[in-house]
Amino acid sequence: MQEETSPGRAGRSARSLSARKMPHQSRGRETIETILKAAAIQIEKGGLDGLTTRRIAQEAGVSVGALYEYFPNKESIILALAQRWMSQIYEVTEAVHPRHGATHDLLTYLNKSIDCIVPLYRDQPGLSAINTMLTSAPDLRAAAEEHRRRFVELVVDSISMLLPNAAVADIAVLARTLQIIGHGMISEAYVRDAPHPEKFMESLKVCLFALAARLMLAPGCP
C-alpha cells in the first residue's frame, strides 16, 4: 500500500486528516489506543521525518490494513494523538473547577491546575514533535486554537466563580497568561528536558500567584 505524503503537501483536505471511524466496541477502541501509543513511541524514537504507517503498525502489533481501517494516513494519527492529549489537559483542568468543591480559593485552584497538567507533559512520548506539528499543519493549528479557546474559557469560568466581583478583563488576562506561560514553562521543564524542572514549576507558580494576588486585592474582591 502506498505510503501517505507529508503533512504540508498542498491539497490535503480536512477530511483526509479525520479518523475513518470511531468504533463503539471496546476492542476497536483498544486498537485505536494501541495505535496512538505506538505512534507516540515511534515519534519519540525517530521524530516525524521517519514516521510511517508501516512502522506505527509494527510497533502496535497490528497489520497495516488494520491500521488503515481507522486512519487514512499518518497525519490523521498525529492529529488524533494531539487531540487526545489536548482533551486530557482539558479534562484534568475541568476536574479542579471550583464547582466540584475541590478548590475554594484562587491560589489553591492555580496550584492544583498546574500540578494536574504537568504529568500530561512529562509522560507523553513524542510531545516535542507533536507540538511542532501543531503549528505547521492547518488542521492541527485549528485543533490547537480550539483547545486554547476552550481551555481559557474554562479557566475564566473557574476564576469568575472564585472571584465573582473581579473585573472581567483582568480574569481573562490571568486565564490567558496561565495558558501562555504555563505551556511554555512546562514544555521547557519536561519536554525540552531543562535541568532542575522543579525550579521552573516554582517560578511558574510565583508568576501566577503574583498575578492572582493582584486580582484578589483589587477593589470589590473579597
Averaged pLDDT, 130-141: 81
Task: Say yes or no: 109 and 195 in one domain.
Answer: yes
Query: pLDDT tens digits for 156-181?
Result: 999 999 999 999 999 999 999 999 99
211 lies in a domain?
Answer: yes
Q: Model-level pTM?
A: 0.84
**pLDDT tens sequence across 47-73:** 888 899 999 999 999 999 999 999 999
Residues 42 and 151 occupy one common structural domain:
no
pLDDT for the residue 159: 97
Task: Verify that 99 and 209 share a domain, yes or no.
Answer: yes
Q: What is the CATH number of the domain that holds 93?
A: 1.10.357
**DSSP string of the chain, one letter each residue:** -PPP--TT-TT--SGGGS-S----SHHHHHHHHHHHHHHHHHHHHHTTTT--HHHHHHHHTS-HHHHHHH-SSHHHHHHHHHHHHHHHHHHHHHHT-GGGTS--SHHHHHHHHHHHHHHHHHT-TTHHHHHHHHTTSHHHHHHHHHHHHHHHHHHHHHHHHH-TTS-HHHHHHHHHHHHHHHHHHHIIIIIS--S-HHHHHHHHHHHHHHHHHHHHTSTT--
Residues 150 and 94 in one domain: yes
Q: Are residues 89 and 150 in the same domain?
A: yes
Residues 101 and 131 occupy one common structural domain: yes
| 68 & 90 share domain | no
- Computed on alpha carbons and rounded to an integer, the radius of gyration of the chain in Å comes to 20
- Choosing from 37, 72, 107, the residue where a domain stops is 72
The answer to whether residue 118 is domain-embedded is: yes
Report pLDDT digits (tens) over 182-215.
Answer: 999 999 999 998 999 999 999 999 999 999 998 9
Same domain, 88 and 152: yes
The values of phi and psi at residue 63, to 5°, are: -75, 155
The whole domain housing 211 covers 78-216
5 within domain boundaries: no
Query: What band does 129 get if pLDDT is binned at 50, 70 and 90?
Result: confident
Under the banding of pLDDT at 50, 70 and 90, the label for residue 4 is: very low
Whether residue 88 is found in the same domain as residue 67 = no
Q: Return the percentage of the chain with pLDDT > 90, whole number.
A: 67
Hunting for cell 472564585 — which residue is that? 162
Q: Which of 29, 56, 72 is the last residue of a domain?
A: 72
| CA neighbor of 188 nearest in space, from 115, 98, 125, 128 | 128
Among the candidates 72, 87, 104, a domain finishes at 72
- CB of 70 closer than 8 Å to CB of 31: yes
Cell readout for 187 is 514544555
Max intra-chain CA distance, the chain: 66
pLDDT band at 218 (very low <50, low <70, confident <90, very high): confident
Query: What is the pLDDT at residue 28?
Result: 76
CATH number at residue 30: 1.10.10.60
Q: State whether 194 and 100 are in the same domain.
A: yes
The amino acid present at 59, given as its one-letter code, is E
Nearest to 82 by CA among 127, 145, 33, 27: 127
Q: How many independent structural domains does the chain possess?
A: 2
* 39 and 136 inside one domain: no
